[in-house]
């Protein structure tokens, strides 16, 4: 009986901790996004800067943010942004899209990349956090 009770308590603890862990990932991703802020904006009221605004990135076709002047490489890449594509791209943007004007060396740390995706992907196309 003691093993059953312990097992049940472990399941409850893990289930209760999952949202907190996700929040930590998003918070860490927000901190990591500071590397992107010089060129990109995200959230309500985000505007294009040196780079395009990143609202609604998940599912968006590369080269399609309104009123942003993309390179032909981005417009013609055939990429639709999703988690796997973003994670590959952010490691080395110029390798993923040769000819991009994105002058960023990339992020190599997998944990940081995962946290950054958690942060960026939470925003819908209007810059509101998805529920």
8-state DSSP, 128: P
- Rounded to whole angstroms, how far apart are CA atoms 119 and 31? 9
Encoding tokens for residue 40?
A: 């990109």
For 67-77, the pLDDT digits (tens) are 999 999 999 99
- pTM equals 0.82
Provide the β-strand partners of residue 129.
Answer: 123
- Rounded to whole angstroms, how far apart are CA atoms 70 and 56? 17
For residues 44-51, average pLDDT: 97
Cβ-based neighbours of 112, under 8 Å, separated by 6 or more: 28, 32
For 65-112, the pLDDT digits (tens) are 999 999 999 999 999 999 999 999 999 999 999 999 999 999 999 999
CA atoms within 13 A of residue 91's CA, in its CB half-sphere: 12
Under the banding of pLDDT at 50, 70 and 90, the label for residue 116 is very high
């Amino acid at each position: 009986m003691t093993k059953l009770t312990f097992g049940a308590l472990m399941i409850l603890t893990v289930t209760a901790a999952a949202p907190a862990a996700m929040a930590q990932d998003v918070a860490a991703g927000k901190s990591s996004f500071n590397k992107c802020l010089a060129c990109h904006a995200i959230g309500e009221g985000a505007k294009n800067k040196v780079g395009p605004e990143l609202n609604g990135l998940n599912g968006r076709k590369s080269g399609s943010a309104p009123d942003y002047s993309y390179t032909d490489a981005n417009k013609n890449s055939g990429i639709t942004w999703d988690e796997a594509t973003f994670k590959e791209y952010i490691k080395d943007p110029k390798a993923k899209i040769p000819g991009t004007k994105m002058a960023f060396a990339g992020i190599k740390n997998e944990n940081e990349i995962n946290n950054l995706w958690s942060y960026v992907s939470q925003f819908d196309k209007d810059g509101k956090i998805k529920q």
